[in-house]
Each structure stands twice: as C-alpha cells, then as structure tokens.
Amino acid sequence: MLGARRLLGALRFCSSVPCPKPRTSAKLRVREALGVLDASGERVTVQGWIRSVRSQKEVLFLHVNDGSSLESLQVVADSSLDSRELGFGSSVEVQGQLVKSQAKKQNVELKAEKIEVIGNCETKVFPIKYKERHPLEFLRQYPHLRCRTNALGSILRVRSEATAAIHSYFKDNGFVHIHTPVITSNDCEGAGELFQVEPSSKIKVPEENFFNVPAFLTVSGQLHLEVMAGAFTQVFTFGPTFRAENSQSRRHLAEFYMVEAEISFLESLQDLMQVMEDLFKAATVMVLSNCSEDVELCHKFVAPGHRDRLEHMLKNNFLIISYTEAVEILNQASQNFTFTPKWGVDLQTEHEKYLVKHCGDIPVFVINYPLALKPFYMRENEDDPQQTVAAVDLLVPGIGELYGGSLREERYHILEQRLARSGLTEAYQWYLDLRRFGSVPHGGFGMGFERYLQCVLGVNNIKDVIPFPRFTHSCVL
Amino acid sequence: MLGARRLLGALRFCSSVPCPKPRTSAKLRVREALGVLDASGERVTVQGWIRSVRSQKEVLFLHVNDGSSLESLQVVADSSLDSRELGFGSSVEVQGQLVKSQAKKQNVELKAEKIEVIGNCETKVFPIKYKERHPLEFLRQYPHLRCRTNALGSILRVRSEATAAIHSYFKDNGFVHIHTPVITSNDCEGAGELFQVEPSSKIKVPEENFFNVPAFLTVSGQLHLEVMAGAFTQVFTFGPTFRAENSQSRRHLAEFYMVEAEISFLESLQDLMQVMEDLFKAATVMVLSNCSEDVELCHKFVAPGHRDRLEHMLKNNFLIISYTEAVEILNQASQNFTFTPKWGVDLQTEHEKYLVKHCGDIPVFVINYPLALKPFYMRENEDDPQQTVAAVDLLVPGIGELYGGSLREERYHILEQRLARSGLTEAYQWYLDLRRFGSVPHGGFGMGFERYLQCVLGVNNIKDVIPFPRFTHSCVL
C-alpha cells in the first residue's frame, strides 16, 4: 500500500508547481455568472449563442446561452453598437462587467464593454425560429440542431444528470461497475429480435465469421453480470442494448440504454424490489435537486400536470401484486379488453395500463409469473402448485413496464434440467459452471433508461429523450 | 422552479416514514468489516467465498472474500467444526463476533459462531487452484471465472473506479454527458475497418436495409459530440467503439471503450492539451487514492517496476514536440528502423517507442501533422507553409498512442472545399450546417480507456483489462 501512497505524495508535491489551468480566471460559463450572488462590477468574459435580441431607445438587450443552464445571461449594451450582426443563433464573446440587475427575473446582468460576433447564423434558413415554441415532432427532423432549443437542452441536461445520479447510487451502495460486452455470441435468450454483426468489407461466406462464431448485438448484460456477481457480490452495468424489432411505437427504440444490476446472496424478491424502488427514488431526488429548472420546463410546457403525477409516485410506497392477482383484477374489470386476460398468457399493454390505474397511479410490482412464460434462468418458486418463477416487472403510469427482474436459478440440477429441456446445455456449460463452483442465491433487474426519463419528465415519445434515436427506417447521422 | 422544490419537499416528508433498507444492520460487506476500527465483539454476518483454509490444533482459520476489496476477512472458528465442506471456492455465510485481531496483518477478525456453506465448489475441476498464482494468459481461457482471482479482481475494481473518476472529472468541470449512438450511418471517416449491422433473421436483400441505409458500429462519437458542443459548449461521451481489424496485438481489440470530449470556444491546441493532461492526472490520482491496494497488487506482481514509471509520468509536465521535430529526432537517431522515418508519412509503433524513450519516458504530445495524413475535419494551420493541421497525439511509455485529438475546421468555406475534394459534400451537409448557424472554434480528443488502464497498471495485454475481450476469432460468452 505504501507504494500507491508514495505516488500520491509525489503528485501532491508536483501540484504545488504552477499547473496549467483549463480556463483563465475571467472567463465564466453562463451558469457560473448567474450564480454570482453579489455582483459588483467584476470584469468577465462570457461566450455563447444569442437567444434573443431586444433593442430599446438607448440600450440593447441580448440573452446569451452556452448550454450550461436553461437560463440565459442578460447582456446590456449601448444601442450605438452595430446590432446588425447580433442575430438570433449567432455565437458571440462578450466582455464586460457583471452587475446587479434591475430586473426581477435575474440577479445579475452583464454590462457589455465589447461584443464580438464569432459565427453568424443564417437565420432565414435556420430551422429553429426566434420566439417560436417548436413541437418536439417538428424538431425530430433536425437531430443536429434540436439540442439548441430550450426543450431538448433541458431534456439532455436531465439525461446527463440522471446518468450521473445512477452511477452515484450504485457506487455509494458498494456496487462494482462492469462494462458488459456489446458484441456477444449468446443468441438464445429469447429477449427479442437480434442484430447480427459482420465486418463490412468482408466477402460474405456464411461459414467463416470474423469471430469464428455468429456475433450479435447484446439484448441484455445480465448473464455477463451474473459472472461478475460471482466475484464482486454486487455489480451493475449501464450501456446500450439492441432490438431489431419492426416497431415505431412511442416506447421502443432499436438502440436504447439499460441500467442492470445483479446481487449475490440475495434470497427474496422483496429484497430485490427494495433496491429497485430505492434506485428509482434516489436517482429521481438527485435529478430534481440538481436540475430543478430543466425538469420544471418539461413539467410546464412539455407535459403539463406531470409534476403532480411524479410527486404521487415518489411519496407513496410502490405496490406489490402477484401475476395471479393481476389476472383476477383484470377478469373482474368492467372494461372490455382487446386481448382477454387469462392465466398463463402474457400481460398486454392495455392490461398493464388498467392495472396501474387500478392501483391508483402508483407504480406496481407484478411478481411470480408462470414458468412457461419466462426464460430458463429464472428461479422456480418451490412451494407454488401453479408452477411460477420468482420474476418481477415494475409497471409505472404512462409507460407500462419500466423494470424487469428476477431471482436466478442457482440450483445446479434444476438449472441443468431446464437447459436440457431447451436443448441449451452445450451452449450454457459456462453458465452451469457458475453453479458448480461456489453457487449463491442471487437476483437482478434491468431498467430501461429512456423509459425512466419519460417517466420523470412526462415526455410522451421515447425518441425525444435520446440524443440520436435509432428505429426502423431511421438512422440519421 | 417551485414545483420541483415542492416535489423534493414531499419526498423528504415521505422519507421520514419507515423506508425499506436494502440490508439489515448486522450484515456487513468484507470491506466494511475490515474498516471497523475498534472491534469489540459486534455481532455481524458476512457472506463470501472461501479463499483459504488453514487448520491448527484447536482453531480453524478461513479467509473469506466477497469482492468488495482485495483483502479477505479472517474468520477464526473452533477446530471441532466439520471442515470437510469448507473448501477453497465454496460460498459461505458466517455469523459471529467482530474482534480485534492478534495478528499484525489485519485489524479485525471474525470469531465464528456459525458457518453455513451455501454452495460447494468442485475444487478438482475448478480451473483456479488454491495458492497458485496463475499467469494472466492462462486465466484468459476462463472469462467466466477469472474475475475470482486476486489479479483480475483488482484490475476490474480499478476499471470500475477509473470509470467513476472519469465521469466525476467531467461533471466537476461542467461537461454534459452525451450517449453518442453505437449504430450509425456515417461510414466515411476512415478511422478503420467497420462492422456492419443487420437484423439476423432478415432474408438479406441488399437494397432493403432495416434502417433504410447501411448501418455500422461506431468508430468514434466525435461528429455527434460536435453537434452537442454546439449547444452545451463542453460535452463528453464514454462508450464502446469498434474496429473490424484483423489484429491480435496486445494493444488492439475489436470492441473497446473510448473517452471522448469536445469543447467549444477553444482556440488552441495548448488549451486542448491542458485538458488532456489534466484528465489523465486527475483520474489517476483518484484511482490511486481510492484503490491503492488493488493498484499495488498489479505493481507488485503483474508489472514489477511499473510504480516508478507511473510516478515519473505523474510528477513531470508532459512534453510537446511538433510532428516535424519528431521526424527530425527520428532521422538523427542512431537506431535503425524497419520503416525509414520521412516527413509526410505516418509514425510507426517503433517510431513512437523511440520518441517516448528520447523524451525520458515522459508522455509526449506530438502536434501539427501533415494535412494529407489526417481526416477532413481537422483544422488547417493557416500560417504553416508545410500544410499541416492542428492535430495532436499523446504518446505514453509502454503503450504508444493513448490519446488523439485536434482542433476542428470551423470555417465554413474551408470545410466545404475539403469535403468537396473528398466527394463528401452531400453526406456531410448536416455537418456543414453546424458551421452555418453560429459556428465556433472548437476541438476535442479521444482517449482509449483500456490503454489508459494498461498505462496505469502496467498490464501488458489489453485483453486483461476488459471483462470480456472481443478480437479476431474470439467472442467468448
């Protein structure tokens, strides 16, 4: 241990030597400028893009935004300044004095001494128009420019903050982060249609693969996480997953992000659900506290009324019902369903919607699904005459399934039998190994990250919460 | 803003209601148990895998590890306990009292009252053997089990910590995190051989793509980050990138991770290099301080002597030479190279090695490469008669290229000409748009994450610093 400490010592010594700083002291981000409490004429430089220009008799008001916050910095300049180039969308550098603002809306403003236009904006052909609130559908046509609007700016800042919050949650709770592979030779999980991967320049000979075996884009990092949970006890991954499904729905993408965790020495669904609920609430609290303005924008303009819905989810304990109870509830419903609910058959979107409504718009865990509906790795409930597995889905208002999880079958012989029945024994010998060498009861879950963002922000279409959406017939940029 | 605050208020109220905790108070991770300073008989439960068993006259010593730290917890039990099942690799739950240890090596030990074997380990066929230090090459055959060894355990904990450190660095410095897409229709960057993506079940008709256009796995998120830097000023991504190259080298993988950043309003390579050096040093300091034991293990057993090498890198300022100077240095070298160094030709691995050695084993930035060697987006140096671009590579001892970066061409007309010369104008209209609407000088870089880990830990082969390596002829699990 001394060695690493010595290294640190050496570095601390080195850092007393004048070190290059990434930014000169006078240059401020807009967020930093807005945060100055007692502005008293400090000379600063701010760079950003013009969001509005307003000319009065003797003064010119600009709003400059650099994406560090939703709010722009008000710049006040002498109207004698040539304002022809100071158009909406142009990039500028403003030097001046930071002073207390007269206006109620902001604490500080920048009294400009010099404004330099860095890059003009051809506003006539710029698809984003001054003072217009463009619908999200319209903006989707411009994946390279839509991030410059308030709405997408806020959504993507929230996405960044939520990413950090999720990483923090797991780190603080002793989980080791694992990069599970994107390219995988596992194709038998049945989680959905797969994308296959091949070198593009290769003359395609089916017998000869780049990897010697057919390779696919991952649909889940679960099996790889199980490997790691056998060494680190608590592990998580947060990466891209893929489905080659022909779907244009508002809840599906061909490429989306999943947060997955796996926990060893975990013996009950109850314990698993506690982590799931805790993660949801802890991450959301962090996002609300670090991005309040951005969340507020969505709750005000994108999804009016969603604030109360989210508050309702956060302040109530999530509910738990069994699959069997769910089917009973559906059978007793006065509503007519397109698909008649029946024990042994998968729940449909319409069923999920009804169940959440029935539960008073509180997120609800549905547990213990029929064994026949679920993949080989889910743990069989030993005392259930109905042949169920310890699986759990979390249904949330407006979205449906947000999480899926289960206890995993840790008993060698039971797992071996189930693999044999599916003809998978050979392919999953390595997975059986995990049960031969110090097996432990364990379980895990996956949460769709885009659906999580939809749920927090109330954004209706999943394509608006990811920077560059990929779906059938669309892979722009 | 009030709305989000109200939500937080509601939640704070809710958290005063008894909330389910993920773990009972008596259950401790090994790391937590080892951290107890004044153990005085607290009753605790610890779960993990047996790393060693030693039987003395009246007592039995076990070492139990749960992956939360390199160090195991010593368990002391009465020798009357049936030890037949307490074999290496078995999983156990131990209940007992945490007491001060007599031994010098550890502060605390667990006086067992009850030991329950959870899962046996068939030691005879378990490829990891008790008390043996297996070479990393040997362990590579068992990607599902190697994480249970000290070496891989330490490496992967460091990887997790380094991931967190890099995220923190960017967050603390005001960068917005962006998930750049994995599947992309950009294929013209020339950064290397591409993987193509197609639905696996599709009857292959070349004219009809799932995405309507040919789709590939990304080789870099740079262009997408440039989109985002035009809104958020400072952005980063940290995700998988791909090369379909037929390479089995110790420095290449088909799937690897890149840390990429893009910064608007950045006008000089000097500023860019400061961020690159700062990131390297800040992340490394964080790793050394949070994972000292794990780093130490590598510096002791995997790469003896590497500690001094790393210290040397950390306490010196990185050097800067131009490509032209680099070629001169190589031409004056007494060494004979397989490839004769020549202005206008790419540097080879042997050249990089020589340059780093020449620079006293301090990382060295090589800047201003010939325009003809570099892609269209790199910024032309206006005052250089030799036609160079503002590109930078960072060469580090033992690895070679760790970072690549450049200023990007922000001038519309110059970029337009370069695209036209390459016949790419049509495909990159969106990229030109970024220069039409409020263009700014900007630059960015990418750092190979596995190479970074190799550099910090001294691990020779890149396949040993990633959980599941993918390379030509190999995609196991």
Q: Which of A366, A381, A379, A384 is nearest to A441 (CA)?
A: A379
Q: How many whole angstroms separate alpha carbon B101 and alpha carbon B84?
A: 25
Residues 6+ apart with CB under 8 A from A303: A457, A458, A459, A460
Q: How many whole angstroms separate alpha carbon A20 and alpha carbon B421?
A: 39
Q: Cα A398 from chain centroid? A: 17
Q: Distance from first CA to last CA of chain A, Å, rounded?
A: 48
DSSP-assigned letter for residue A382: T
Q: How many whole angstroms separate alpha carbon B88 and alpha carbon B62?
A: 9
Q: Which of A105, A161, A145, A123 is nearest to A298 (CA)?
A: A161
Whether the Cβ atoms of residue A288 and residue A297 lie closer than 8 Å to each other? no
Q: How many whole angstroms separate alpha carbon A421 and alpha carbon B271?
A: 62
pLDDT band at B23 (very low <50, low <70, confident <90, very high): very low
Q: How many whole angstroms separate alpha carbon A50 and alpha carbon B85?
A: 72
A181 touches chain B (CB under 8 A): yes
Q: Point out the residue among B217, B257, B310 whose CB comes nearest to the CB of A179.
A: B257
The more confidently predicted of residues B188 and B111 is B111
pLDDT above 70 as % of chain B: 92
Roughly what angle, to the nearest 10 degrees, separates helices B306-315 and A2-15? 10
Instruction: Tell me the backbone φ, ψ of residue B280, rounded to 5 degrees.
Output: -55, -50
Size of interface A-B (CB pairs under 8 A): 428
Interface predicted TM-score (ipTM) of this complex, two decimals = 0.94
Q: How many whole angstroms separate alpha carbon A391 and alpha carbon A406?
A: 4
Q: How many whole angstroms separate alpha carbon A402 and alpha carbon A263?
A: 19
Whether A143 sits inside 8 A of B227 (CB atoms) is yes
Residues 352-411 of B with CB under 8 A from A: 410
Q: How many whole angstroms separate alpha carbon B169 and alpha carbon A287?
A: 19
pLDDT band at B294 (very low <50, low <70, confident <90, very high): very high
AA identity, residue A328:
E
DSSP notation for B166-192: HHHHHHHTTPEE----SEES---S-SS
Q: Which of B303, B280, B265, B225 is nearest to B465 (CA)?
A: B303
B57 touches chain A (CB under 8 A): no
Instruction: Tell me the backbone φ, ψ of residue A457, rounded to 5 degrees.
Output: -95, -20
Alpha carbon of A420 to those of A186, A223, A336, B220: distances in Å? 17, 18, 41, 42
DSSP-assigned letter for residue B462: G
Q: What is the pLDDT of residue A17?
A: 35
| Span B91-117, pLDDT tens digits | 999 999 999 998 888 889 999 999 999
B247 touches chain A (CB under 8 A): no
Q: Which of B387, B438, B391 is nearest to B412 (CA)?
A: B438
Element (H, E) at A403: strand A400-408
Q: What is the pLDDT of residue B26?
A: 86
Q: Which of B22, B193, B437 is nearest to A445 (CA)?
A: B22
Instruction: Tell me the backbone φ, ψ of residue B183, rounded to 5 degrees.
Output: -90, 130
For residue A64, give the 3-state DSSP assignment.
strand
Mean per-residue pLDDT for B320-332?
98
Q: What is the pLDDT of residue A247?
A: 83
Chain B CB contacts of A255 below 8 Å: 181-183
Assigned token pair, B297: 């293990």
Write b or e for each residue in A309-343: b if 16 or more Cβ atoms lie within 10 A of its Cβ, otherwise e. Answer: bbbebbbeebbbbbbbebbebbeeeeeeeeeebee
Per-residue pLDDT of chain A (477 residues; tens, 9 = 90+): 445 555 555 444 333 333 344 444 489 999 999 999 889 999 999 999 999 999 888 899 999 999 999 999 999 999 877 667 899 999 999 999 999 998 888 889 999 999 999 999 999 999 999 999 999 999 999 999 999 999 999 999 999 999 999 999 999 999 999 999 999 998 656 656 899 999 986 545 455 789 999 999 999 999 999 999 999 999 999 999 999 988 888 999 999 999 999 999 999 999 999 999 999 999 999 999 999 999 999 999 999 999 999 999 999 999 999 999 999 999 999 999 999 999 999 999 999 999 999 999 999 999 999 999 999 999 999 988 889 999 999 999 999 999 999 999 999 999 999 999 989 999 999 999 999 999 999 999 999 999 999 999 999 999 999 999 999 999 999
Q: What is the pLDDT of residue A158?
A: 98
DSSP-assigned letter for residue B95: E
Q: How many whole angstroms separate alpha carbon A211 and alpha carbon B194?
A: 14
Q: How many whole angstroms separate alpha carbon B56 and alpha carbon B78?
A: 10
The long-range contacts involving B278-282, CB below 8 angstroms and separated by at least 24 positions, are B278/A20, B278/A22, B278/B169, B279/B166, B279/B169, B279/B447, B280/B363, B280/B402, B280/B447, B280/B452, B281/A11, B281/B314, B282/B165, B282/B169
Q: How many whole angstroms separate alpha carbon A240 and alpha carbon A180?
A: 10
Q: Distance from first CA to last CA of chain B, Å, rounded?
A: 48
Sign of CA dihedral B322, B327, B331, B337: positive
Minimal-distance CA residue of chain B relative to A173: B22
Whether B475 sits inside 8 A of A147 (CB atoms) is no
Q: Cα B151 from chain centroid? A: 16
The more confidently predicted of residues B201 and A389 is A389
Assigned token pair, A226: 């199980």
Chain A CB contacts of B244 below 8 Å: 199-202, 210
Distance from CA of B13 to the nearest CA of A (A): 8
Strands (E), A215-360: 215-217, 234-242, 255-264, 319-322
Whether A211 sits inside 8 A of B433 (CB atoms) is no
pLDDT band at B444 (very low <50, low <70, confident <90, very high): very high
Chain A CB contacts of B163 below 8 Å: 167, 177, 179
pLDDT of B189 strictly over 80: no
Distance from CA of B16 to the nearest CA of A (A): 11
In the block, which residue shows the tokens 């108070």? B25
Q: Which of A83, A113, A137, A442 is nearest to A264 (CA)?
A: A442
For residue B156, give the 3-state DSSP assignment.
helix
Assigned token pair, A161: 């903050």
Q: What is the pLDDT of residue A16?
A: 34
Q: Exposure of B83 by Cβ count < 10 A (0-12 exposed, 13-18 middle, 19+ buried)? A: middle
DSSP-assigned letter for residue A190: -
Mean per-residue pLDDT for B253-263?
98
Q: What is the pLDDT of residue A19?
A: 39
AA identity, residue A420:
A
Assigned token pair, A262: 């796996």
Assigned token pair, B432: 């030109």
∠ at Cα A15 (A10, A16), nearest 5°? 105
User: H-type helices in B319-444, by residue range?
Assistant: 323-331, 349-358, 412-421, 429-436
Strands A255-264, B216-217: pairing is unpaired
Chain B CB contacts of A63 below 8 Å: none
CB count within 10 Å of CB B135 equals 10
Q: Point out the residue among B4, B93, B211 whose CB comes nearest to the CB of A473.
A: B211
DSSP notation for A151-188: HHHHHHHHHHHHHHHHHHHHHHTTPEE----SEES---
Q: What is the pLDDT of residue A22?
A: 40
Q: Point out the residue among B8, B296, B410 whose CB comes nearest to the CB of A3.
A: B296
Chain A CB contacts of B17 below 8 Å: 317
Q: Which of A33, A41, A35, A83 is nearest to A58 (CA)?
A: A83
Minimal-distance CA residue of chain A relative to B49: A438
Q: What is the pLDDT of residue B6?
A: 55
Distance from CA of B23 to the nearest CA of A (A): 8
Whether the Cβ atoms of residue B118 and residue A439 lie closer than 8 Å to each other? yes
The more confidently predicted of residues A22 and B188 is B188
| Span B356-373, pLDDT tens digits | 999 999 999 999 999 999
Q: Point out the residue among A171, A239, A467 whose CB comes nearest to the CB of B164.
A: A171
Q: Cα B334 from chain centroid? A: 36
In the block, which residue shows the tokens 């390297």? B280
